[in-house]
């Protein structure tokens, strides 16, 4: 099973890249974590129609980056929240199914509504609005925590 993080945004601050890489490096080989950055569409028109068109363009780029057969999980502040133990249980299911999982993090304007409706699930890392770079780090840490629970590693202490 591979975990793919598809994130809109590039040229992240060094601390974001370092934080993400720290947890990606810790992931067990059989649950490898990989990042694909999606170039954000230029926001030349801040009207609702312009933002919608930009989100549609980003959604096309995201769809092209999702490997065939992967389960798509969209991250959105209005999505379902999980405990670390519940995430570990989901990770066990994905491993049993032999499916790769693609977690999608939107840019400054979030994700296109249609892309969210196509996702197998919509998750919230928090009810708080998070900067998309920080969401990468938080997601990587939580995936590492879930993998640690699955493997019986003492990283997670309930």
Q: What is the tens place of the pLDDT at every residue in 72-84?
A: 999 999 999 999 9
Q: Cα dist. 78→16, 29, 115 in Å?
A: 23, 32, 14
pLDDT at 155: 80
- Its domain, for residue 63, covers 3-151
Is 27 part of a structural domain of the chain? yes
**Residue 156 pLDDT level (bands cut at 50, 70, 90):** low
Is 9 part of a structural domain of the chain? yes
Number of structural domains found in the chain: 1
How far from the centroid of its chain's Cα atoms is residue 1's Cα? 15
Is 157 part of a structural domain of the chain? no
Q: How many Å apart are CA 50 and CA 27, to the nearest integer?
A: 39
The CATH number of the domain holding residue 49 is: 3.40.1280.10
Is 156 part of a structural domain of the chain? no
Q: How many Å apart are CA 145 and CA 151, to the nearest integer?
A: 10
The predicted model scores a pTM of 0.93
Is 74 part of a structural domain of the chain? yes
Beta-sheet pairing, 33-38 with 71-80: unpaired
**Residue 158 pLDDT level (bands cut at 50, 70, 90):** low
Q: Is 10 buried (19+), middle (13-18) or exposed (0-12) by CB count in 10 A?
A: exposed
**Residue 108 pLDDT level (bands cut at 50, 70, 90):** confident
Q: How many Å apart are CA 9 and CA 28, to the nearest integer?
A: 26
Is 158 part of a structural domain of the chain? no
Q: How many Å apart are CA 116 and CA 125, to the nearest integer?
A: 15
């Amino acid at each position: 099973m591979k975990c793919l993080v598809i994130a809109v945004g590039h040229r992240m601050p060094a601390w974001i890249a370092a934080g993400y890489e720290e947890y990606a490096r810790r992931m067990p080989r059989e649950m490898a974590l990989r990042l694909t950055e999606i170039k954000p569409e230029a926001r030349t028109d801040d009207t609702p129609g312009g933002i919608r068109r930009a989100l549609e363009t980003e959604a096309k780029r995201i769809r092209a980056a999702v490997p065939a057969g992967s389960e798509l999980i969209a991250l959105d502040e209005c999505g379902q929240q999980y405990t670390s133990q519940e995430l570990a249980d989901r990770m066990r299911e994905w491993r049993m199914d032999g499916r790769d999982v693609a977690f999608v993090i939107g840019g400054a304007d979030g994700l296109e509504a249609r892309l969210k409706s196509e996702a197998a699930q919509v998750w919230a890392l928090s009810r708080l609005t998070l900067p998309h770079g920080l969401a990468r780090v938080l997601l990587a840490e939580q995936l590492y925590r879930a993998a640690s629970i699955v493997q019986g590693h003492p990283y997670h202490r309930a």
